[in-house]
Structures are given as structure tokens and as C-alpha cells.
Amino acid sequence: MPYQSVNPATGEFIGSFQEAGDTELDAKIKTAADCYVSWSRGLFAVRALVAHKAAALLRHRTDDFARPVTLEMGKLIAESRAEVLLSADILEYYARNAEQFLNPQKLHPQIGEAEVQSSPIGVLFGVQPWNFPYYQLARFAGPNLMAGNVVMVKHAGCVPQCALAFENLWLEAGAPLGAYTNLFLSYKQVDRVIGDPRIRGVALTGSAGAGKSVAAAAGANLKKSTMELGGSDAFIVLEDADLEMAVKWAVWAKMNNTGQCCVAAKRFIVVNELADEFLEKFGAALASLRPGDPMDEETTLGPLSTEAALVQLMDQVKRAISAGATLVLGGGRIARPGSFMQPTILTGISSSNPAFREEFFGPVALFFPVQDEAAAIALANDSDFGLGGSVFTADIERGKRVAAQIETGMVFINHPTWTTPELPFGGIKDSGYGRELSSMGIQEFVNKKLVRVAPLHAAA
């Protein structure tokens, strides 16, 4: 049974959920397609009322929504609450701004008049991951529902209660049946949905392997797609950086959501002048984190999302060490119930080590001392991924020059890569394509229709 709630902090099995049969799936797609006809023709103001109500419900019942996140995938309860509120921010942002973002664009042809109109395209299908069980859904559903599309979502198998809670949120907010549909599907059924002619777009957040599979299916069916496929973000510390600030943000960048974040800092690249002191302070801060019940406000280190995730991560560390990496801190399981791993630092990682190319999705930091700024940029770019990155320096103009040379979709200066509704989110290379959030995110799944008015007797 692929849809199961298991508390990763204790290993306790909570419950399982049945996959949809093909008959049920077909009925849900029909409901969504029927809903699109009326939803897409409605006013922005009508859709905005629903989105505002959904955001208000998230704010009013923050703890009710936060607890299933912590229960199902182990996020610290304070971080779960923050995710609920961020999701509300996203829904409110698009409720306020969608109409403006999609206003017709006036063009200026040599003869006559022209404009580009933005209109919805239909039923969209999203495949979403477990690490941010509401935020991922909000950034897919918020802009697309406000644009007049309807959405169907296959969520990750380990967060079924979160998946159902988000579907119920839209129904309680007044969305018609079919506007937002949760689907408990098998992987085989994913291809069936993508191939259905009523589905007009596909969005995935997940691994590069999943992206290749879903993007191939979407391409074979001529469906527009967006892919956000993880990263191996560089956290660059130049010699003029404020060391205390850099260490503080390094801990947050690595350990937010126990390191299970696409834009978590994964490669710490520090210029030699600060390298030893940075490593000492960074290691001490990671070692001081306290594992425990993620529902407890005093806990500072939560579990990994599943036992399988823990086993995979420890295997990556073992292979890295076998290939010559040096273990500075941690590296193993914490002796307590649940899927807890010690915060870990690896260094001495050569370009031939498999760890050099892999994404470590958890509390594992790769540390690289480098000669200078040029070496830091070259190492940051020597990655198959290109999602985010950060640069720490006292000279903001220098930071901007470095950022301009880093090959990613996002670079933050004196702050780890992060997300807010008004900032576009997405990457390049194996981190995928397309953008979510901001004014750019709502443009991905709309038809940009040229409407041209020419004089009756104008030349062709």
C-alpha cells in the first residue's frame, strides 16, 4: 500500500489509504473537466474570494494544519506552522495580484492595434513531493486556480493526510467540486493521467529521475510542463564575510527541515582565510542540535521523513567515505526510536568521488575550502544542478558580481536561498525548467493569445 501515514519520529504506523481505481480516476478527471468550463469563465473577483477564504482558514487553524505535517514527515512543529502561514501568504498574493498579472499587454504594430491576452488552458496535473506538504501545493494551485485553470494533484505517498487536508481546504473555502482534486494514484496511473486528452499541462517537483520520466510522458503527449528537480546549492563564504553571520545562516541553510529541502545549502565553499574557523564553529553548532519529538518546541533536530530516506542517506555517506572523503562530524544513526541521523560534515571530496555529483537530501554538509573567489565560482558551477545558491561578503557589489557568474536560477547575497510569494522560484540544468511564484509563475500555464486589429484595406 503506497499511501501510508507512518510517524518517522517513532516508527509508529498510523494508517493507510487506498489508491483510486481506473473507473474512479476517469470520473474525477471528468468532474475536473466539467468544472473547468464554468470556473474558467468566472470573474477574477469570484476566484479571489475562494483563495482569500482558503488563506484565512489556514491562518485561523494553523495548528490543525501543522500537526499532520509533523506527524507524517517529521518537520519540527514551529517549521510546520511557518509552512502553513507561507502557504496562506501565497494564496493571498495571487488573490490580490492575479488579475493585474494577466491583464492584456498592449503592443504597438506599425499599422492598427494589437494586444496579447492571457487565458487559462484547462485541467492541470501536478506531481508533488512530501518535504513541504502544503507549500508545494499552494505554489502550484494558487496561481493556476486564480488564472482560471483547475488542478489535479498526485501527492507523495507518505503524506496522505496532508494531501486530503489541502483538498478539503478548497472545498471548505467554497471552490466547486473539481477545481482542486487530490488523486491517490499508482505510478502507472500517472502516465494514464498525463496521456488523457483532457489534461493540458503537467507540473512536477521531485528528483531528476522522476523529472525525466514525467517530462518524457508530457512531451510524448505534447503537454506543456514545468519541472523543479532539486539541487546541490553552493553556500559561498568569501574572505571579507562576517563570519558569525555566515555560520548562523549556514546552520539554518543546512538544517531547515532537517536538510530535506531542494534549496538547502549542500556544498559549503569557504575561502581559505576563513575555512578552518568556519568549519570549527559550524561543526560545533551542528553538534549542539538536540534530537527529540518534533512536536516538542524544545527539539532542534527532527527525524528524516522515512526510514528509507535515512538508509539511503547513510549509504551515500558510507560510499563517499569509501571513495576518500573525510568524516568530520556525525555520519550515523542516532540511537533512539525513529529515523534520526546525526548532523554530518564531509570534506576532502574529490571530483571523482560520487558525492561530488550527488544531492544529499538531509543533514549532511559537504565542505570545500578554496583558494579564492575565482575558485569558489568555478566549484559552485561544477555541478549537474542549478537551482539556487548564496554568497556571503561584506561588499554587496562584489556579491552581485559573483552572483552574476553563478549558473543557477537563484542566487541570494548574505542570506541562504529561500522563497517568498513575490520571488520567482526555479532552476536550470538538472534542476529543471520553468518558474513558480511571483508574476512569472502564473504565466506558465496560460495561453498568450495575440489579438490583432487591422484596417479593413491594410496590406497583408
Catalytic residue IDs:
228, 262
The DSSP element (H or E) to which 438 belongs, if any, is helix 438-441
CB 389 within 8 A of CB 235: yes
CB neighbours of residue 174 within 10 Å: 13
Looking from the CA of 32 toward its CB, the CA atoms found within 13 Å total 28
CA distances from 283 to 199, 232, 265, 276, 292 (A): 49, 20, 15, 11, 20
> What strands, in cross-sheet order, belong to the sheet with 105-107?
105-107, 113-120, 446-453
Specify the amino acid at residue 182: N
- The DSSP string of 168-227 is HHHHHTTPPTTSEEEE---HHHHHHHHHSTTEEEEEEES-HHHHHHHHHHHHHTT-EEEE
Distance in angstroms (rounded) separating the CA atoms of residues 1 and 24: 18
CA distances from 232 to 164, 371, 394, 431 (A): 31, 21, 24, 9
CA distances from 139 to 92, 133, 134, 419 (A): 11, 11, 9, 11
Distance in angstroms (rounded) separating the CA atoms of residues 114 and 203: 31
Q: Which residue has the cell 559573483?
A: 402
Q: Which residue has the cell 495571487?
A: 94
The string over 305-342, giving b where at least 16 C-beta atoms fall within 10 Å of a residue's C-beta and e elsewhere, is bbeebbeebbebbeebbeeebebbbbbebbeeebbbbb
Distance in angstroms (rounded) separating the CA atoms of residues 410 and 365: 20
- The DSSP string of 142-172 is HHHHHHT-EEEEE--TT-HHHHHHHHHHHHH
CA distances from 47 to 35, 83, 383, 430, 437 (A): 13, 23, 42, 35, 18
Distance in angstroms (rounded) separating the CA atoms of residues 261 and 231: 9
CA distances from 255 to 132, 175, 281, 305 (A): 14, 36, 15, 14
**Residue 414, exposed/middle/buried by CB under 10 A (0-12, 13-18, 19+)?**
middle
Specify the amino acid at residue 22: D
